[in-house]
Amino acid sequence: MRLPIRLSFSAPSRAILLALGAAAVFGTAQAQTAAPPLKVGLMLPATGTFAALGDMIERGFRLHVQEQGGKLGGREIQYFRVDDESDPSKATDNVNKLIKRDNVDVIVGTVHSGVALAMARAAKDSNTMLIVPNAGADAITGAMCAPHIFRSSFSNWQPGYATGVVAAGKGYKRAMTITWNYAAGQETVKGFTEAFEKGGGKVIKDLNLPFPNVEFQALLTEIAAQKPDVVFAFFAGGGAVKFVKDYDAAGLRRNVPLLGSGFLTDGTLEAQGSAAQGLQTALHYADNLDTPRNNAFRKNFALTFKANADVYAVQGYDAAQLLGAGLVAVKGDFAKRDGMIAAMRKASIDSPRGRFTLSASHNPVQDIYLREAVGKNNEMKAVAVKALADPGRGCRM
Ligand code: BEZ
């Protein structure tokens, strides 16, 4: 991966710089110094169950910057990185490394909703610009919304709600849900329940376990005993791999259909193998969207990283596109932050997922696809809900 070139000055070159400075002071030269690099702080998981997700987000972000010649709006980008370990108890200290120690201009992060909530608090307190490239915590573009906080991904409510629409449309009446007991799990299940019950179904029981535990056996036994029409699951990363394999190994797939928000099978299909084949999920991206934009993105991603892109890579790529839209509007002058924010608010992002705009609370308004796991791809079956906008509950801006 190409890193920004840092210049280190030898003694003679320092002398040249001093001479140039003096010439400018005395009006004998019109030398203009280039703006310094824009400092972007990437706070993502590099360890733990979400490590692969953080890696894909960073790759996507850097790919877009690289495609723009290493610059956004004419500004070179300098990266600062912190591993947040998907640990909310360390989140405030971690984000302050970027804000107070590294003095970054913009923070990009993270994956885990609990960590992202602490980041949003710190971004508000310090008035630092924040772009969230995954974590769906509803409050970030709800009650905690702010002019300088943006999201390039989704709210937890969105894929949950869309999967509820799908489940009700399939005629299921009795559902059980299963997830980790933290903001992303709870809010995704809430979205599912809202749409499923509006469509005539009933959630008979919510099952959960602490994040990031993967001891599913007792809960699977309870599903087998209750025999619902359908199970809705939210898991992601390493936990999703284990859950899908355990669900299959317990023999449940033959008797109780499993639906998930798309994180259940995104970036995980190779590890899940045959246990995931045929699983249907709902998400704002599908691997095989046959558009010139998605095809070009996937090709360039594969060439650059020798790996297939997934939804996390798309969200990282679009975080860079969103930042770029702001910087282009002010010709790279970050001091014109109000102008940047205005441009980001009204940006139309040409994403591999399909073009999207932002809601008034800065969350993507986007199509949610029904997908099916076929081979190594989450293939698009239908648009589950068109242009789904998060309600942005509690946002006043
Ligand atoms: C979350 O914590 O918001 C989250 C984590 C992984 C995938 C999707 C959402």
pLDDT tens for each residue of 218-259: 999 999 999 999 999 999 999 999 999 999 999 999 999 999
> DSSP readout, 329-348?
HTTT-TT-HHHHHHHHHT--
Let me know if domain 157-283 sits in CATH 3.40.50.2300.
Answer: yes
pLDDT tens for each residue of 88-147: 999 999 999 999 999 999 999 999 999 999 999 999 999 999 999 999 999 999 999 999
Output the pTM of the full model.
Answer: 0.92
Mean pLDDT, range 51-64, rounded to an integer: 98
Q: Establish whether residue 188 lines the binding site of ligand 1, counting it when its CB lies within 6 angstroms of any ligand atom.
A: no
Q: Establish whether residue 109 lines the binding site of ligand 1, counting it when its CB lies within 6 angstroms of any ligand atom.
A: no
Q: Establish whether residue 112 lines the binding site of ligand 1, counting it when its CB lies within 6 angstroms of any ligand atom.
A: yes
C-alpha 9 – ligand 1 centre gap (Å): 43
Q: Where does the chain show beta strands of DSSP type E?
A: 38-44, 71-72, 75-83, 106-108, 129-132, 149-151, 174-180, 202-209, 230-234, 258-261, 280-283, 357-358, 364-374, 377-388
Portions of the chain given CATH number 3.40.50.2300: 38-154+289-362, 157-283
Q: Which atom of ligand 1 is nearest to the CA of 50?
A: 6
Residue nearest to atom 6 of ligand 1 (CA): 236
Q: Establish whether residue 136 lines the binding site of ligand 1, counting it when its CB lies within 6 angstroms of any ligand atom.
A: yes
The answer, yes or no, to whether residue 364 has pLDDT greater than 50, is yes
CATH number attached to the domain at 38-154+289-362 = 3.40.50.2300
Q: pLDDT category, 73, cuts 50, 70, 90?
A: very high
* Residues 286 and 379 sit within 8 Å (Cβ to Cβ): yes
Backbone angles phi, psi at 224, to 5 degrees: -60, -35
C-alpha 158 – ligand 1 centre gap (Å): 12
Beta bridge partners of 202: 174
Q: Which atom of ligand 1 is nearest to the CA of 137?
A: 3
The answer, yes or no, to whether residue 336 has pLDDT greater than 80, is yes
Q: Is 284 strand, coil or helix? A: coil
Q: Establish whether residue 392 lines the binding site of ligand 1, counting it when its CB lies within 6 angstroms of any ligand atom.
A: no
